[in-house]
């Protein structure tokens, strides 16, 4: 009986679905399918987000980084040219409860469980968070002042070129950066910075910056050096030339640990990375990075984080890779298997934006620096760091010097991780509690 019913039903359908109606039915089916798919997408991710809150993985090529890159429109500009943009940064609200004595450094722990991906790892930056300052300010400030006194133009320079080829954008870009910093800092950190008619005063260190005259407390200085004295970050500005490449033409690199401005000054971006043996640069990064630099617009700033390990406690220059003034420096000179008390976790927060007037692309590079023994006390950190260090490929390991400290470090991290397991730490909650980059 059922069978007969089926046959009759089929016959009826067959009559309806003749050549004329078939396209409409197919169309209706397709619309229904799309609608269903759309509706399920609408509801599913919401609950999924609320329940697991997985953070985007900036080290994964398919995740947030390409997202930021893809949103940028291709550019029609002639290489090496820039038309000033009317963009002005939105006014920043004061940092909530900020104090140079009590606000702790942000606890960036930007490493993931393996596998390791080589990418730029960019995420969008909110304008309010351009520069982060905290209660390490005075120490960084004093370190910078000492480095400026000892090394001056080796660390802080603005290219003036030779008189025949001098590029006026470069000096203008350095001054523009000083103006931008003075405006931003007085909005964001009013308990430290106060705007004046000619620039900005730091009312904690008693330094008065005059922008038209390029002076600090009456003494004239390189504009990048003045910028460096204001914040905890190192700074670099890249300018596009006619060949479409970006050149490092202004910098204040005082606390970089592993690289020297003199080695890289005037170089194009690609050479900076190949001369530094950045792993995977040619294969995985160069094309994307070049495109990214060409396209980055004044209104879209980005952030990225990275991390290194160091086997001495010198923030400014990691002396275990050699003397800062020696010809060749590298991990090969570092003492092998130093005790874990000498292992330091070094992490950078980099921001990247284009200055609207000069068109220079500014990097800010803020270093966070902690003993490994300190961060290994934090829940989830030793296990995750050990997994990350183990997942470095051969080239990344060479670049980060793992052979010199890996055994000691991993033994220590494994032990700390096991202590947390024994203590009953809930590892299923890791993504919730410490979503990247925390
Ligand atoms: C700022 O301090 C006030 C009073 O101490 C406190 O209620 C508030 O939660 C703090 N805000 C932040 C963002 O820390
Ligand atoms: C800044 O000036 C004030 C007032 O003259 C003084 O009390 C303070 O110690 C000075 N600070 C520094 C870092 O010199």
Q: Does residue 414 sit within a domain?
A: no
**What would the mean pLDDT of 24-31 be, rounded to a whole number?**
56
Cα 212 to middle of ligand 2, angstroms:
25
Closest-CA residue, ligand 2 atom 2, reads 206
Mean pLDDT of 319-342: 80
**Spacing, Cα 102 to ligand 1 middle (Å):** 12
- Is pLDDT larger for residue 383 or for residue 281? 383
Q: What percentage of the chain carries pLDDT values higher than 90?
A: 52
Whether 375 is in a domain gets the answer no
**Which ligand sits closest to the CA of 142?**
2
Q: What separation in Å is there between the alpha carbon of 128 and the centre of ligand 2?
A: 29
Which of 27-36, 204-213, 237-246 is the most confident on average?
204-213
Count of CB atoms within 10 A of residue 237's CB? 28
Q: Which ligand 1 atom is the nearest neighbour of the CA of 96? A: 13
Residue 140 predicted with pLDDT over 60: yes
**SS3 for 350?**
strand
- Which candidate, 367, 363, 376, places its Cα nearest to that of 347? 367
Assign 64 a pLDDT band (cuts: 50, 70, 90). Answer: very low
Distance between alpha carbon 76 and the CA centroid of its chain, in Å?
A: 27
Does 128 fall in a domain? Answer: yes
Q: Is there a domain that residue 40 lies in?
A: no
State the closest ligand 2 atom to the C-alpha of 206, by its place in the atom list counted from 1. Answer: 1
pLDDT on residue 326? 81
Match 């495109």 to its residue by tokens: 291
Mean pLDDT score, 18-43: 51
Q: Average the pLDDT over each of 73-82, 122-131, 373-382 and give the range with the smallest value.
A: 73-82
Total domain count, the chain: 1
- For the Cβ of 205 lying below 6 angstroms from any atom of ligand 2, the answer is yes
Closest residue by Cα to atom 5, ligand 2, is 206
Residue 291 lies in a domain: yes
**Per-residue pLDDT at 13 exceeds 70:** no
Domain assignment of residue 303, given as a range: 61-369
Mutate to test the pocket of ligand 2, among 100, 142, 206 (most ligand atoms within 8 A of CB): 206
H/E element, 81:
none
The pLDDT of residue 41 is 41
Contact between 42 and 264 under an 8 Å Cβ cutoff? The reply is: no
Q: Specify whether the CB–CB gap between 122 and 58 falls below 8 A.
A: yes
The bound ligand whose nearest atom lies closest to the alpha carbon of 98 is 1
Bridge partners (DSSP) of residue 248 are 238
Q: Could you tell me which residue, 49 or 206, shows the higher pLDDT? A: 206
Sheet holding 234-240, edge to edge: 123-124, 302-310, 344-354, 361-371, 234-240, 246-252, 156-158
- Summarize pLDDT for 256-287 with one digit per residue, the tens: 888 889 889 999 988 887 766 677 777 777 77
Residue 22 pLDDT greater than 90, yes or no: no
Which strand (E) or helix (H) includes residue 267? none
DSSP H helices, 240-298, are 261-264, 269-275, 286-295
If we measure between CA atoms, which residue out of 175, 165, 326, 312 comes closest to residue 242?
165
Q: Which residues line ligand 1 (CB under 6 A)?
A: 96-97
265 within some domain? yes
pTM listed for this prediction: 0.80
In a domain, 392, yes or no: no
What is the predicted pLDDT for the residue at 279?
72
Report whether pLDDT(314) > 80: yes
Residue 379 has a pLDDT of: 92
Q: pLDDT tens-digit profile of 168-219?
A: 899 999 999 999 999 999 999 999 999 999 999 999 999 999 999 999 999 9
**What's phi and psi for 202, nearest 5 deg?**
-95, 110
* CA 301–ligand 2 middle distance (angstroms): 36
Task: Kindly state whether residue 114 falls inside one of the protein's structural domains.
Answer: yes
Say yes or no to pLDDT of 82 above 80: yes
Most confidently predicted of 140-149, 272-281, 396-405 = 140-149
Q: Cα(222)–Cα(253) distance, rounded to whole angstroms?
A: 13
With bands split at pLDDT 50, 70 and 90, how would you rate the model's confidence at 357?
A: very high
- Burial label for 219, CB within 10 Å (0-12, 13-18, 19+), is exposed
- Structure letter (DSSP) for residue 317: B
Question: What is the CA(212)–ligand 1 centre distance, in A?
Answer: 38
368: enclosing H helix or E strand: strand 361-371
Predicted confidence at residue 122, as pLDDT, reads 86
């Amino acid at each position: 009986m059922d069978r007969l019913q089926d046959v009759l039903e089929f016959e009826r359908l067959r009559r309806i679905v003749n050549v004329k109606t078939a396209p409409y039915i197919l169309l209706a089916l397709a619309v229904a399918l799309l609608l269903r798919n759309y509706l399920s997408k609408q509801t599913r991710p919401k609950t999924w987000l609320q329940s697991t809150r997985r953070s985007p993985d900036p080290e994964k090529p398919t995740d947030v980084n390409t997202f930021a890159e893809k949103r940028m429109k291709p550019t029609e500009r002639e290489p090496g040219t820039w038309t000033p943009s009317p963009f002005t940064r939105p006014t920043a609200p004061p940092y909530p409860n900020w104090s140079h004595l009590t606000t702790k450094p942000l606890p960036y722990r930007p490493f993931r469980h393996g596998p390791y991906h080589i990418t730029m790892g960019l995420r969008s930056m909110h304008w309010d968070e351009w520069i982060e300052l905290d209660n390490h300010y005075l120490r960084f400030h004093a370190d910078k002042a000492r480095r400026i006194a000892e090394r001056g133009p080796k660390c802080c320079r603005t290219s003036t070129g030779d008189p025949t080829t001098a590029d006026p954008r470069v000096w203008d870009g350095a001054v523009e950066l000083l103006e931008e910093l003075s405006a931003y800092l007085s909005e964001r950190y009013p308990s430290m910075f106060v705007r004046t008619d000619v620039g900005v005063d730091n009312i904690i260190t008693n330094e008065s910056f005059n922008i038209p005259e390029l002076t600090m407390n009456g003494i004239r200085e390189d504009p990048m050096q003045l910028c460096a004295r204001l914040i905890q970050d190192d700074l670099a500005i890249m300018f596009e030339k006619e060949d479409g490449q970006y050149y490092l033409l202004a910098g204040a690199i005082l606390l970089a640990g592993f690289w020297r401005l003199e080695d890289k000054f005037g170089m194009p971006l690609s050479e900076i990375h190949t001369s530094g043996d950045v792993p995977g640069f040619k294969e995985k990064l160069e094309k994307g990075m070049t495109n990214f630099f060409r396209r980055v617009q004044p209104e879209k700033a980005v952030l990225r984080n990275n991390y290194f390990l160091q086997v001495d406690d010198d923030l400014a220059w990691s002396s275990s890779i050699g003397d800062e003034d020696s010809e060749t420096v590298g991990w090969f000179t570092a003492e092998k298997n130093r005790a874990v008390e000498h292992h330091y976790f070094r992490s950078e927060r980099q921001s990247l934006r284009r200055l609207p007037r000069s068109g220079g692309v500014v990097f800010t590079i803020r270093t966070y620096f902690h003993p490994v023994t300190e961060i290994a006390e934090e829940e989830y950190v030793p296990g995750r760091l050990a997994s990350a260090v183990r997942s470095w490929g051969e080239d990344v390991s060479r670049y980060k010097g793992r052979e010199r400290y890996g055994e000691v470090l991993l033994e220590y991290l494994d032990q700390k991780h096991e202590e947390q397991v024994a203590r009953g730490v809930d590892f299923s909650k890791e993504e919730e509690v410490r979503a990247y980059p925390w």
